[in-house]
Each structure stands twice: as structure tokens, then as C-alpha cells.
Amino acid sequence: MPAEKSGAAKPIRVALLGCGTVGTEVVRLLTDQAGELTQRIGAPVELAGIAVRRLNKERDVPKELLTTDAAGLVTSDDVDVVVEVIGGIEPTRTWLLDALRSGKSVVTANKALLAEHAADLFEAADASGADLYFEAAVAGAIPLLRPLRESLAGDRITRVMGIVNGTTNFILSAMDATGAGYGETLEEASRLGYAEADPTADVDGFDAASKAAILASLAFHTRVTAADVHREGIAQVSAADIAAAKGLGRTVKLLAICERVVSDGTESVAVRVHPAMIPRSHPLASVNGAFNAVFVEADAAGEMMFYGRGAGGAPTASAVLGDLVAVARNKVVSGRGPRESAYAALPVQPMGNTPTRYHISLDVADKPGVLSQVAAVFAEHDVSIAAVRQEGRTEDASLVIVTHAASDAALRSTVDKIGGLPVVREVVSVMRVEGAE
Ligand SMILES: NC(=O)c1ccc[n+]([C@@H]2O[C@H](COP(=O)([O-])OP(=O)(O)OC[C@H]3O[C@@H](n4cnc5c(N)ncnc54)[C@H](O)[C@@H]3O)[C@@H](O)[C@H]2O)c1
Ligand SMILES: N[C@@H](CCO)C(=O)O
Ligand code: NA
């Protein structure tokens, strides 16, 4: 009789690294759902140890499991699976490589590590036949990586675009709702606990860039690291940008965009994180506050949207537990989950070559010939104008221009040159535009 039916299956022993916001919830879910998890996996899951930095900190977890010896725990013969919820590159990278090399499957929520060292980790997993799962690393609770790695493995994904950082989405949603500037909205977000004490990784786009690298690697079967991602944060988004977006029936979101680009018959990928105006009717426009949502386009499946909680202890622990069940099931049947799929080895397109569209708002002198001077600069850079609107009949007029797609480098040069025209008093807002009108 198979072991899982006899009720005598060998327990799956789990080492937990880190017991902070996510780790505490992992322990709670593992404990509360122990019986059901045993049924789902075909073997009990037991905690073998919890690696922490300080033993005497107050925590709602079994004290006898705590250890400060993470290095010893990850290679212990008593451990089958390592769950890592510490974060950062070192010493986590070394511990996870050691765990994988010694045949332990790894579940991690660590986007920074995956976005830099996925190749090494997958290589170590291959060497021993272990599993590497990381659903919680991108868009928290939302099932997104498993759909990309498994459900859509028979299709050809062409584009992944989404809101993958809750902190910045909370700030931009609040700026849109109140009309307030970036600085005061960030202060409010920190006061309410929506932004971390050091919000740099979020507001400067590092967190979203790591997630974009992971998404692009999985979607396009290639290797993209965080360093390959063009990254702009939200610190430069002004109240004027938000007002300009509203005037066009749009809203501003920090987007992670991963796409296939074919030029002169050669395929490459473009991966970028930057604020952009999207139509208020776009499904991503109604994703507000700390929520995440990701749009995926594939040749056969068409368009799909994944929406839900991208952060928080319990939501993130849900994704970790889902991965833990998957790797534990694989252990029970001596099977393996998907390995790294990077066979396509596509080059990464520089941002300057990537086709984008711009919105530009200008304060100009309202006199004959101004529009033609501005239009001439666009023509000079081979940038085609999609729409122009002029408002105001006093000395100062406002000129709002939306372009068709052109290379980002041509659009940048156009904006620089326009800013230098004597008839242009001020470049009020420049922002990329995404989504159909
Ligand atoms: N919190 C979220 O909403 C969220 C969402 C998605 C992914 N993640 C990821 O999950 C991971 C954990 O996030 P968190 O929010 O729980 O962070 P946290 O700071 O609350 O917890 C991390 C814990 O690791 C401990 N730690 C640090 N160095 C250690 C060491 N050398 N040995 C043992 N323990 C050590 C810290 O003391 C802390 O308790 C990170 O990779 C994060 O990016 C978090
Ligand atoms: N700091 C991240 C947490 C989830 O990775 C966010 O704001 O979305
Ligand atoms: Na996820």
C-alpha cells in the first residue's frame, strides 16, 4: 500500500529561516492547519527548527524550536525543506545554496535574492534534484509565478504589465485622491504604517525592479536580473503630473512592464519600471491602495489579470504555504517541480531603444507660431504627435501633447530640446503613457 494511504508516511521536516512578519504567520498557518496539510500532502509537515537572530525576543512560536545556528540547521540531516523569510542577499544566499546542494528543497519569499542569483540557485537545485519555489517573492499572495511557470507553459507570453509594489501604489492612489504632493503623501503613508521606516527600496523602484526581473525571466524563458531592468521610482511624480493625468482622463501608476520586442527580425526583451499615465478605464487604474495586479498577455490565452494582496504577513504566508505543500508533495512521490527554463537566452533591449509614448504639458507664451516651433522639434526627432490641446488665452497658455510610440531616446531628446525653446516658459509635466486611449 502507498505510504500516504497507510497513515505512516515519513514526516516532511521543515527548517524556517526568519521569524518576522511573514515567518510568524508561516508558523501559525503550519500549526493551525497541520491536520489538513497532512491530508493534502500525504505526510505530516513538522517544524524542525526556526533560525532567528535573537533567542530572547518575545514571539508567539514554540521556543524549543528556536536556534541562532541557521548554517547548521539548513544542512541538518533532520531537515527536508528550507523555508526562507529573512530577506537580503547574504548570508541568505550562502545558506540557500548549501541547503539546495545538500538536497533540501527551498521555498523563499526573497525577491532581491531571486532577481540577482536565480541562476546559481537553480544550478544548485539541479545538482541535487531539489525544488526551488518562490511564489511569495512577486505580488505576495497572488498566484502569479505558478501560472507563468506551469499553467501557461504551453503558451507564448508576449507581455506582462502590472502594479507589483503596494507602498508606491498606496502613495500614488492617495495623491490622485487628494491632489497632494509626493512628500506630504509619503509622510502620511509612513505615519499610517503603509511605508517602511526606510522606504527607499519601494519608492525608488528597486523592489518593483526585482519583481520585474523575476517575471520577465519566467514569462520569456530567459535570464533577466535586476541590473537589466530600467528603473525609475515615484519621487519625481508631482501634484502637477497627477493633475495633468486627470485632465486627460488618466491616472498615474508605477508599472512594471516586461515585453517581447521584435526588431529587424531579432527578438529581445524590454523590462522597465517607471511611473506612467494609464486611462482611468484601464483595469489597472482601479487597483488602489496597497493592492497589486498584473496583466498577462499570451498568444493563445489572450489577456488575463491577476489581482489581490501583494504584501502583509498572512497573505504572503499563504503563498509560502502553497509552495511548501507543492515541494512536500514532490518529496512524498520522489518527484520534482519545474526547473529553471532559460533556454531562450534573449538579449535585453536598452531603454533608449524601447518604444514608448509620452505626455508632455508645457506653459508657453500664447502668440502666433508657438505651436509650429514646438511641432518642428517633434518632427526633427521623428516623433509623431497623436493629440494636442491648448488651453488659456492670456499671456500664459498651456499646451498638452500626447505622442505616438517612438524610441524612448528620441522622446527624451525631444523633451530636452523643447525645454530650451525661448517660447516655452516651463515644462510642467512629462510622463510616459501606457494603455489604449
Ligand atoms: N512583509 C511582506 O509583506 C512581504 C511580502 C512579500 C515578500 N516579503 C519578503 O519576505 C521576507 C521577509 O519579510 P518580513 O516582512 O517578514 O521581514 P521582517 O523584517 O519582518 O522579518 C525578517 C526576520 O528575519 C530576521 N533575521 C535577519 N537576519 C537574520 C539572520 N541572520 N538569522 C536569522 N534571522 C534573521 C529578522 O530579525 C526578522 O525577524 C523578505 O524577503 C521580504 O522581501 C515580505
Ligand atoms: N514592500 C513591498 C512588500 C511586498 O513585496 C510592497 O510595498 O509591495
Ligand atoms: Na505571488
Convert the chain into a string of H (helix), E (strand) and C (coil).
CCHHHHCCCCCEEEEEECCCHHHHHHHHHHHHCHHHHHHHHCCCEEEEEEECCCCCCCCCCCHHHEECCHHHHHCCCCCCEEEECCCCCCCHHHHHHHHHHCCCEEEECCHHHHHHHHHHHHHHHHHHCCCEECHHHCCCCCCCHHHHHHHCCCCCEEEEEEECCHHHHHHHHHHHHHCCCHHHHHHHHHHCCCCCCCCHHHHCCHHHHHHHHHHHHHHHCCCCCHHHCEECCCCCCCHHHHHHHHHCCEEEEEEEEEEEEEECCEEEEEEEEEEEEEECCCHHHHCCCCEEEEEEEECCCEEEEEEEECCCHHHHHHHHHHHHHHHHHHHHCCCCCCCCCCCCCCCECCHHHCEEEEEEEEEEECCCCHHHHHHHHHHHCCCCEEEEEEECCCCEEEEEEEECCEEHHHHHHHHHHHHCCCCEEEEEEEEEECCCC
Q: What is the pLDDT of residue 366?
A: 79
* Ligand 1 contact via 320 beta carbon (within 6 Å): no
311 lines ligand 1 (CB under 6 A): yes
In the predicted structure, residue 78 carries a pLDDT above the cut 50: yes
pLDDT score at 32: 97
pLDDT at 8: 65
- State the CB neighbour count (10 A cutoff) for residue 432: 21
Among all residues, which ones are annotated catalytic?
Answer: 211
pLDDT one-digit tens code per residue, 234-273 = 999 999 999 999 999 999 999 999 999 988 899 999 999 9
Q: For 95-127, how does the pLDDT look when each residue is reduced to its tens digit (9 = 90+)?
A: 999 999 999 999 999 999 999 999 999 999 999
State the Cα–Cα distance between residues 185 and 253, nearest whole angstrom: 15
Ligand nearest, relative to CA of residue 316: 1
Per-domain boundaries in the chain: 12-140+314-333, 146-308, 352-433
Of the ranges 29-33, 38-42, 190-194, 317-321, which one carries the lowest mean pLDDT score?
A: 190-194
Which residue's alpha carbon is at the smallest distance from atom 2 of ligand 2? 165
* Four-CA torsion 248, 252, 256, 258, nearest 10 degrees: 0
Q: Is the CB of 312 under 6 A from ligand 1?
A: yes
Residues 319-334, mean pLDDT to the nearest whole number:
98
Using pLDDT thresholds of 50, 70 and 90, give the confidence band for residue 394: low
Of the listed ligands, the closest to the CA of 89 is 1
- What's the 101 CA to ligand 1 centre distance in angstroms? 23
pLDDT at 264: 86
Per the CB < 8 A criterion, the answer to whether 110 and 134 are in contact is yes
Q: How far is CA 325 from the centre of its chain?
A: 23
User: 7 near 39, Cβ under 8 Å?
Assistant: no
- 352-433 sits in which CATH class? alpha beta
Q: How far, in Å, is the centroid of ligand 3 from the Cα of 144?
A: 5
Q: What is the pLDDT of residue 367?
A: 83
- Does position 191 have pLDDT exceeding 80, yes or no? yes
Residues annotated in the binding site for L-homoserine, as ranges? 196
Check pLDDT > 60 for residue 90: yes
* pTM (two decimals): 0.96
Q: Output the nine-digit C-alpha cell for 246.
A: 486627470
Q: What is the pLDDT of residue 189?
A: 93
Distance (Å, whole) CA 262 – CA 258: 13
Residue 162: exposure state from Cβ atoms within 10 A (0-12, 13-18, ≥19): buried
- Nine-digit cell at 140? 505576495
- Residue having the nearest C-alpha atom to atom 37 of ligand 1: 53
Residue range 12-140+314-333 forms a domain whose CATH class is alpha beta
CA of 143 to the centre of ligand 3 (A): 5
Side-chain-facing half-sphere of 37: CA atoms under 13 Å: 24
Question: Which CATH architecture group holds 146-308?
Answer: 2-Layer Sandwich (3.30)
Tell whether ligand 1 has an atom less than 6 A from the beta carbon of residue 53.
yes
| Residue-wise burial string across 222-246, b where 16 or more C-beta atoms lie within 10 A, e elsewhere | bbbbbebbbbbbbbebbbebbebbe
357-392 per-position pLDDT tens digit: 999 999 998 788 899 999 999 999 999 999 999 887
* Mean pLDDT of all residues in 157-163: 98
CA 367–ligand 2 middle distance (angstroms): 48
Q: Is 169 in the pocket of ligand 2 (CB under 6 A)?
A: no
Q: Please tell me the predicted confidence (pLDDT) of residue 159.
A: 98
Give the pLDDT confidence score for residue 2 in this predicted structure: 45
ipTM value greater than 0.95: yes
**pLDDT confidence of residue 1:** 39
CA dist., res. 225 & res. 209, Å (int): 9
Looking at residue 3, its pLDDT comes to: 43
Residue 56 is placed in which grid cell? Answer: 530572547
CB 218 within 8 A of CB 172: no
What is residue 153's predicted lDDT score, i.e. its pLDDT? 98
> How much of the chain exceeds pLDDT 70, in percent?
97
Judge if the beta carbon of residue 202 lies within 6 A of ligand 2.
yes
The phi, psi pair for 45, rounded to 5°, reads: -110, 125
Pocket test residue of 16, 22, 167 for ligand 1, highest count of atoms within 8 A of CB: 22
Q: What is the mean pLDDT of the chain?
A: 95
The best mutation among 207, 210, 255 to test binding of ligand 2, ranked by most ligand atoms within 8 Å of the C-beta, falls on: 207
Each residue's pLDDT tens digit, 412-429: 999 999 999 999 999 999
How far is 144 from 147, CA to CA, in rounded Å? 5
